[in-house]
Amino acid sequence: MIGWRLFLFLFCCLSIASPCRAQAESPYPIVWRDLTQIQNALGTGDPHWDGESLLFSNEQHQIRFFPGRRKADVNGTTVWLNAPATGSIAARDWRLAGTDLDLLQISLLPTPEAGSVPEPLRVMLDPGHGGDDTGASCGNPAVREKDLTLAIAKRVGELLKRSGMRVAYTRTRDVTLSLDERVRLARKHRPDLFVSLHANHAANTNATGVETYVLPPSGFPGTAEGSPARGWQIGNRNDYHNTLLGFAIHRRLAALTNTVDRGLKRQAFFVLRENGCPATLLEFGFLSNRDETLLMKTEPWQAACAGAIVEGILGYARRVTALDRAVAEKRARDAELNERWRRHLAERNRAPQPAPTEAAPPPAARETVPEVPPSASLSAPPPRRNTDTDLSDARIARVSGTAPAVPILRGTNVAPAELNTLIDFYGAGTVE
């Protein structure tokens, strides 16, 4: 017991002692996709360049990228990428991070099958702040974030129940809850998805609009400038599901009348990174903007906002089974790719080396071959709508028709070392 405590103490000291290095280095290298690979994945012809953006389109979709930026537009909705698109169209070296392409292809672009009905899910609603924590506020008119989020959450909950969903709340009254307590409530109720509701605030009183957050994939920074890239977090086991959930809600909120679309963004907020089920965080307006605050106080706006959130959740529920299948199939493909790469490395290492001659220079050190196949990017472990139920390896096998396999890829959904994450996740009150 003493040895374990000593190890934990040393581990925490090392983690705290090197924060600069953790922020400066990405845990994983970016695997890029070239122009031809992008066209094939998206099912489009040659893109159209208008001098500012690059448009990929077909009969179903229009996806616009802005070279050198993380901003993208997916069928009219703003989505922020995990890495900027880089390169030149003229030189045919334009490229996109493989992780972003995977998320586009698997989570964002597929549409529900005709006649599909929402799967009855367990939804946990998390009205932000409460009690001693009032959150953001506006003096004129007098509005507090904790009151606004609770009012919207109750509207959303009632509509979801009428639609056949089971609903739980982190709070239903004005009480103080820590972030850790919110996550522990989610573990207790075992929801299929978690939606945290907030109102925004900015020093710039002209700022307005809606933005939605999901967890960045492992190895990528958040959307906000200066955000550090993190290693694997508990929430990263749901990267594909997080992205679909956030996008399904955001695109409906952004379509509300007089709403500015600030985009689907990524940030490692506590309730996103430490949650075991798919999770998203909504910022549905700015209390620092008086005009927007006046709008958010009105009954019609609150009804429309709640309706948009519910439609987004139902849209996710219509797609989730197909997404389970797609992620399971990708996981099987990644496992096969890794096995082939393992065999390739083994054969290469077994190949006889030519004997050096007198005239030949001294043998150089053997070339280091990467452990990850060059074509691999976002590896997918079992998709988890609930870490304790639903999508076990056995169910993955039933969905995909393949035996479960564990890929060796070091990608955004695989934990190379889970000790620190598990300590944070299960040690109540240990993480700020």
Rounded CA-CA distance 364/334 in Å is 33
Nearest-angstrom CA–CA distance, 390 and 386: 6
**And the tokens for 85?**
């698109």
What order of strands is seen across the sheet that includes strand 261-266?
Answer: 48-49, 54-57, 62-65, 71-74, 77-80, 261-266, 210-214, 279-286, 193-200, 122-127, 166-169
Task: Report the C-alpha gap between 300 and 290 in whole angstroms.
Answer: 17
Nearest to 242 by CA among 183, 316, 311, 187: 316
Query: Does residue 338 contact residue 409 with C-beta atoms inside 8 Å?
Result: yes
Q: Which residues neighbour 262 within 8 Å (Cβ) at sequence distance 6 or greater?
A: 78, 209, 210, 211, 283
| Per-residue pLDDT at 412 exceeds 60 | no
- Give tens-digit pLDDT for 42-82: 999 999 999 899 999 999 999 999 989 999 999 999 999 99
- How far is 261 from 253, CA to CA, in rounded Å? 8
Nearest Cα neighbor of 98 from 83, 119, 111, 109 is: 83
Cβ neighbors of 321 (< 8 A, separation 6 or more) are 119
- The predicted pLDDT at position 326 comes to 95
Least confident window among 117-121, 235-239, 403-407: 403-407
- Top-confidence range, 28-32, 369-373, 388-392: 28-32
pLDDT band at 356 (very low <50, low <70, confident <90, very high): low
More confident residue, 324 or 382: 324
pLDDT given for residue 332 in this prediction: 93
For 14-139, strand residue ranges (E) read 32-34, 48-49, 54-57, 62-65, 71-74, 77-80, 95-97, 122-127, 137-138
In angstroms, what CA-CA distances link 187 with 30, 184, 364?
Answer: 32, 5, 54
pLDDT for res 427:
41
| Structure-token pair, residue 126 | 């998390």
Model confidence over 102-149: pLDDT tens digits?
999 999 999 887 778 899 999 999 999 999 999 999 999 999 999 999
Considering only 57-61, 228-232, 372-376, which range has the smallest mean pLDDT? Answer: 372-376
The CATH fold of domain 39-109: Copper Amine Oxidase; Chain A, domain 1 (3.30.457)
Q: Which residue has the higher pLDDT, 65 or 354?
A: 65
pLDDT of residue 203: 95
Contact 216, 281 (CB under 8 A): no
> How far apart are alpha carbons 75 and 60 in whole angstroms?
9
% of the chain at pLDDT higher than 70: 75
**195: pLDDT strictly greater than 80:** yes
Burial letters for 251-274: b for 16+ Cβ neighbours within 10 Å, e otherwise? bbbbebeebebbbbbbbbbbbbbb
Please state the pTM of the whole predicted model. Answer: 0.80
What's the pLDDT band for 358 if we cut at 50, 70, 90? low
In this structure, which topology does domain 122-320 adopt according to CATH? Aminopeptidase (3.40.630)
Q: Compute the distance between CA of residue 175 and CA of residue 191 in angstroms, rounded to an integer.
A: 21
pLDDT of residue 348: 86
Q: What is the pLDDT of residues 8-18, one digit of tens each?
A: 444 444 443 33
* Mean per-residue pLDDT over the chain, rounded: 82
* Pure H helices in 163-238: 179-189
> 239-254 and 299-350 are packed helices; what angle lies between their axes, rounded to 10 degrees?
150
The DSSP H or E segment spanning 324 is helix 299-350
Nearest CA-CA partner of 193 in 277, 259, 133, 125 = 277
Domains of the chain, by residue range, sit at 39-109, 122-320
3-state helix, strand, coil in the chain (%, to 5): 40, 15, 45
Amino acid found at 212: T
Band of pLDDT at residue 359, cut at 50, 70 and 90: low
